[in-house]
Amino acid sequence: MYGKVRNNENVSTILSAYISNQLTIGSLNETSNVFDVRKYMQGTKYARITTKNAPVRTLFFIYEINDVDQVIYDFRDSLRVYLDKKKVSIVTKSASGTITSSLWNAFEANNLDVNLAMKLADVYAWSVDFMVYKKGIILKYIQELYVDSTYIGQTRSVCRFQ
């Protein structure tokens, strides 16, 4: 079962619907050593993994802090709460294009992320004046990050100006 934290909902109200009050209190105590429960945010995703057969019992409760980090509540044998990271897949891409008018236009003409052009302008601000007309070759090397086949961002790019 998947859900999202609703308005005025916190870890205690979510867990108490699925586990005993005693286990809920124990979960809160264990969580305090791992993650600040006050940071449970409205709209954040969580998952509940249960047994398949009756009586249905909660085995895991997973709170997604962000695209990669998550808090795992393991109720199988004894209560255990820990931080975990989802597996991040890295896809490396490269592209090249010629600057004929501006860095922005070169990225756009080559179907590249124009937001990256802005980041590059920031990185190279002290060595390349992008306000002045520049001609040459740009090379881009990007590592895109995916979690469960969902794009979550990119790590870096390298450009060379000739």
Q: What percent of the chain stands above pLDDT 90?
A: 22
Nearest to 83 by CA among 62, 111, 56: 62
The residue ranking higher by pLDDT, 125 or 137, is: 125
The residue ranking higher by pLDDT, 51 or 11, is: 51
Nearest to 71 by CA among 42, 14, 31, 43: 31
Q: How confident is the model at residue 45 (pLDDT cuts 50, 70, 90)?
A: very high
pLDDT of residue 4: 92
Q: Where are the domains of the chain?
A: 2-85, 89-154
Average pLDDT along the chain? 80
Enumerate residues 6+ apart whose C-beta is below 8 A from 86. 67, 68, 69, 70, 147, 148
pLDDT of residue 95: 67
Bridge partners of residue 138, in order along the sequence: 97
2-85 to CATH, choices 2.60.120.260, 3.30.1330.10, 3.10.450.350, 3.30.930.10: 3.10.450.350
Q: How confident is the model at residue 154 (pLDDT cuts 50, 70, 90)?
A: confident
